[in-house]
Amino acid sequence: MKFSITVTLKNDVLDPQGKVVQNTLMNIGLNLKNIRQGKYFEIEVDENDQIKAEKNIDEMCKKLLVNLIIEDYKINKL
C-alpha cells in the first residue's frame, strides 16, 4: 500500500524560502497571491489493512518526518 505525505509550515510560521520563490515568480511576470513551500514524501508499506497502515504512517510522521512545532501534515492513500 502506498501513501503520500504532504508537510507544510503552519500558518503563523515565517516561510522565507517561499517568499523568495514568490518574488521570483512575480519578477518573471507571473502573478500570484501567496505561496508556501513544503515537503512531499511517498511511502510504501507492506500492509493490506488500510487502518493499520495509516496508523503506521502517522507514527512515522510524528516521530521523525514532521516537526510538529512548526509543521502540519496530510496523509493520502495513493
Partner 1 sequence: MKSSVIVFPGSNCDRDIAVALEKMQFKNQMVWHKETKLPKSDLIVLPGGFSYGDYLRSGAIAGKSLIIDEVIKAANDGCLILGICNGFQILTETGLLKGTLLRNKNLKFINQDVQVKVINNETKFSNKYKKDEVLKINIAHNEGNFFTNNDHLQELKDNKLIAFKYCDEEGNVNQQSNPNGSLENIAGIYNSKKNILGMMPHPERMIDKLISNTDGINLFSSLFN
Residues that bind partner 1 (CB under 8 A): 13-14, 16-17, 20, 63-65, 67, 69-70
8 A C-beta contact, residue 3 and residue 71: no
Secondary structure in 3-state letters for 43-54: EECCCCCHHHHH
Residue 13 beta carbon to partner 1: minimum distance, rounded to whole angstroms: 7
If the CB atoms of residues 41 and 45 are measured against partner 1, the closer one turns out to be 41
Q: How far apart are CA 1 and CA 46, in angstroms?
A: 6
For partner 1, the closer CB: 40 or 48? 40
CB of 14 to partner 1, least distance (A): 7
Q: Which is nearer to partner 1, 58 or 71 (CB)?
A: 71
**Whats the size of the chain, residue-wise?**
78
